[in-house]
């Protein structure tokens, strides 16, 4: 951008759907320039952004399918972008109003002055829910626990992701510091092939790749994949995997609509958590993923009140600072710098 002294920097931005875990790829001028404010008069339209194949953050699909948005007089317009990294730039350039994102990107946005804030927790993992993100080895692998990963190749999904920070913490607690193993970044779609070919010794899986890969492993080797650790290894009480992020200008100018939208999505979260089989059919319909590919998967749990686990955001910031995930991020931000929970329904 000519005439500006501000240098362009990139925050690498990749995410899968679900739930929950991406790095940032946003230009600082895009962060620093506020998107155009919406008209002061409220509108009934919500422009929701998602990426192709994202099956984890499903609450808006349920709200659309079951008529919860209609109950709130919301015209729900969903746009599917090709890559997760396109979502943030589209949101900040005012081509969308609300999207789901990883939590580190919201913190990165706050540091850069982006006109976006998290308005609701979405995907989560709990000890009783069955859904997690699984770091697994082949069934015949000699690796059985984190201490066996010294000198090995570990899948961290992407640089500066929650997956990378948690892997570093778990391996450090096992006595293996950064540099004592090789970090490999790859997409979830590559996990099984990379594991089987030896490109990595332990790969990260989310659904539907975890269930499908276990089916392949069972068929070829007579055993499912061997789970080495999960997010719950480091967050045993449970954790939030992603959040709903809104264009701050849109939210501020449309508070009634924002509250209506979150009433519908939290209502949808309660229904979806209670009806996992029917939920998978709705996910298939709205994501374009064949039902046969996801019919056996474990659906992600969804926050039913939109609130974050106690201490989750502080712990996440601590890991990001400890492992230097963002340059010059040396002390935690107050939650209000990147979270606005004022639109959530009352408990």
Backbone angles phi, psi at 205, to 5 degrees: -125, 140
Q: What is the pLDDT of residue 347?
A: 78
**What number of residues does the chain have?**
347
- Two tokens, residue 340: 């606005």
Return the C-alpha torsion angle 191, 192, 197, 202, nearest 10: 60
CATH number of 10-126+239-343: 3.40.190.10
Q: What is the pLDDT of residue 84?
A: 73
Q: Is residue 304 within 8 Å of 270, Cβ to Cβ?
A: yes
- Two tokens, residue 111: 């540091």
Q: What is the pLDDT of residue 42?
A: 45
Q: Give CA separation, 291 vs 17, 288, 301, 302, in Å.
A: 17, 9, 19, 20
Q: Give CA separation, 3 vs 6, 27, 36, 89, 342, in Å.
A: 9, 16, 21, 22, 39
Would residue 317 be called left, alpha or beta, if left means φ above 0 and alpha means ψ between -120 and 50 degrees?
Answer: alpha
Task: Please list the ranges in the chain whose pLDDT falls under 50.
Answer: 1-42
CB atoms within 10 A of CB 202: 28
CATH 3.40.190.10, the chain: domain bounds: 10-126+239-343, 134-234
Q: What is the pLDDT of residue 20?
A: 30
Q: What is the pLDDT of residue 89?
A: 85
Q: H-type helices in the chain, by residue range?
A: 28-32, 59-65, 68-71, 85-92, 103-111, 162-173, 191-197, 209-221, 231-234, 248-253, 255-274, 276-287, 291-294, 312-322
Backbone angles phi, psi at 169, to 5 degrees: -70, -45
- Two tokens, residue 301: 């749990």
Count CA atoms closer than 13 A to 276's CA, side-chain side.
13
Q: Is residue 14 within 8 Å of 23, Cβ to Cβ?
A: yes
If you classify domain 134-234 with CATH, what class do you get?
A: alpha beta
Q: What is the pLDDT of residue 5?
A: 36
Query: 223-240, pLDDT tens digit by residue?
Result: 999 999 999 999 999 999
Threshold 0.75, pTM exceeds = yes
Q: Is residue 317 within 8 Å of 140, Cβ to Cβ?
A: no
CB atoms within 10 A of CB 141: 16
Q: Is residue 295 within 8 Å of 115, Cβ to Cβ?
A: no
């Amino acid at each position: 951008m000519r005439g500006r002294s501000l240098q362009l920097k990139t925050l690498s931005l990749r995410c899968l759907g679900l739930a929950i875990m991406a790095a940032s790829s946003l230009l600082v001028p895009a962060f620093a320039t506020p998107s155009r404010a919406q008209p002061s008069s409220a509108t009934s339209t919500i422009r929701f952004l998602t990426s192709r194949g994202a099956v984890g953050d499903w609450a808006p699909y349920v709200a659309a399918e079951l008529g919860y948005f209609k109950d709130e007089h919301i015209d729900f317009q969903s746009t599917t972008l090709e890559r997760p990294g396109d979502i943030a730039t589209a949101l900040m350039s005012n081509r969308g109003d609300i999207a789901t994102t990883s939590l580190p990107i919201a913190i990165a946005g706050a540091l850069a002055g982006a006109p976006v804030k998290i308005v609701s927790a979405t995907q989560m993992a709990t000890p009783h829910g069955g859904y997690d993100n699984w770091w697994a080895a082949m069934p015949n692998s000699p690796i059985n626990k984190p201490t066996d990963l010294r000198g090995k190749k570990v899948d961290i999904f992407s640089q500066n992701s929650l997956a990378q920070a948690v892997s570093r913490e778990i391996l450090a607690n096992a006595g293996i510091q950064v540099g004592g193993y090789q970090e490999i970044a790859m997409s979830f779609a590559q996990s099984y092939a990379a594991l089987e070919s030896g490109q990595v010794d332990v790969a990260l899986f989310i659904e539907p790749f975890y269930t499908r890969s276990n089916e392949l492993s069972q068929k070829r080797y007579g055993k499912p994949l061997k789970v080495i650790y999960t997010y719950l290894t480091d967050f045993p009480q449970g954790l939030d995997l992603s959040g709903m992020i809104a264009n701050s200008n849109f939210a501020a100018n449309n508070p009634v609509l924002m509250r209506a939208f979150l009433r519908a999505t939290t209502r949808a979260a309660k229904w979806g958590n209670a009806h996992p089989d029917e939920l998978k059919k709705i996910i298939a319909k709205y994501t374009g993923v064949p039902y046969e590919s996801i019919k056996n998967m474990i659906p992600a749990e969804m926050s039913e009140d939109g609130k974050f686990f106690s201490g989750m955001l502080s712990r996440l910031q601590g890991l990001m600072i400890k492992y230097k995930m963002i340059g010059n991020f040396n002390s935690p931000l107050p939650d209000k710098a990147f979270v606005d929970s004022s639109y959530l329904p009352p408990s």
